[in-house]
Chains A and B, each alone.
Chain A
Amino acid sequence: MKKLGIVIVIVLITGAVWGLLQSQPSEPKIDKLVLTGSSTIAPLAAEIGKRFEALHSDVRVDVQTGGSSRGISDARAKLADIGMVSRALKDDEKDLPAFTLALDGIAVILNKANPVAALDKQQIIAIYTGKIVNWKDVGGNDAPITAVNKAEGRSTLELFLHYFGLKNTDVKPQVVIGDNQQGIKTVLGNPDAIAYVSIGTAEYEAGQGAAIKLLPLDGIAASVENVRNRSFPLARPLNLVTPAAPTGLVKDFIEFAESPQVHDLIEAQYFVPAPR
């Protein structure tokens, strides 16, 4: 028994050492391109990355999410080659070179069963600050309003608050959600809910037959088309930022992402290619 134990230990240790040695990279050098940031841009960047890899066999594109703020901070700290930022850059971020990849709008959505056809800016503000709490005050049914807000740090929340001139402390929500899908599911499950989500996601879901409607804003229909011609007011640019003026591989990737070669990918994600 004693000998058997020693043999087992020796085998285990040899195995571990062998495993460690094996894990040392021995393949030829592969260039890696790391993108981090907005979860809105990440799926698109991953698709563009795949197509880019197909054209450059020695390149691997690694896309990680974490929000626009992470995109900025990773680019600044050079933890990523490219940061993804789904909003206009703030003044203290303008030193980073930015490239607008596409445009995305935010749509205010209601359940189709809700008779309200439009809300103006003041009404939306009043609903989200808890001054209007019943749909009958804006021409709807006699039913309490469920205002759906986004969790702190989301760029959709930031854009929404910025556009309506609100602070998050002013908002009195009944539900707080994380991503767009959760917002759509919440509105589907509650005919008295009001939420705001990415227009691309909302238009896609509505097109797939989900019982939601996108409210017009300032008389302009919430549609991908109106985001493209920049007439829809509640919209944002999807940016790529780099630590410094791009060179080499990073430059190639950004030029590729801005080229018409990826427009079909952008549209497949229900975004709008940035006109240039």
Chain B
Amino acid sequence: MNATTAQPLEANAVIDIRALHTRFGKAVVHEDVSLTVRPGEIFSLVGGSGCGKSTLLRAIIMLLQPVSGSIRVFGQEVIGLGDEKALPLRRRWGVMFERGALFSSLTVAENVAMVLREHTQLSAALIDEVAALKIALTGLPADAGAKYPNELSGGMRKRAALARAIALDPELLFLDEPTAGLDPLSASGIDELVKNLRDVLGLTIMMVTHDLDLLWRTADRVAVLDKGHILGIGSMNELSRLDHPLVREYFYGPRGRAAREQAWKKK
């Protein structure tokens, strides 16, 4: 299934979260959240604004310390992990932030190349070529590489951020709202891209999204989060049969229905 890694994964799950509790001061963000992400799947977190989706993502990528519980990534506990030990882990995943978070003083190509320069011993020429390749893989035109992030449109910036996230050919890719703020055409481009990356590179992808079209088209499994609890985990079809008022509203509201019909037509 996973074409890029020769070694079998130590534990089967890529991400394994057990009984996670997170708090900001007195506000409880997560209460007893447990989920697993299997190798090679596209796993998505959904839920209303402020339900703790992005916070969960930030906890997994070690930007935030949970109160209790366990998060294992590639079989390694990440809570309380020192920087030294976190580095090998960080090299195995790529993160695309919601607003891109591209380094504004570097061109797009330099943004991608910087990651390669930090973590590989390749020659400068090869690094430039690989960076250009990653930029092309995300569907950006070649001249975008020489531009600075502030010269790009929102959609192009997202693609550039994705190019940087996949610079090191990570085994695991985190996408925070990959289609937010994009026009429908660019958004469906991202759909294709996410699917392609998984199919060709054998990536495991965990994403946070509101985009129902993206969910229907790409997600293998989806977890619905509400007020710090998980309401359900399953494929979109399974979830759409779930009998919870919030989930029903999510899937059978006007937008949910349209996206579902679209998805059926495509199939």
Q: Do A and B come from one complex?
A: no
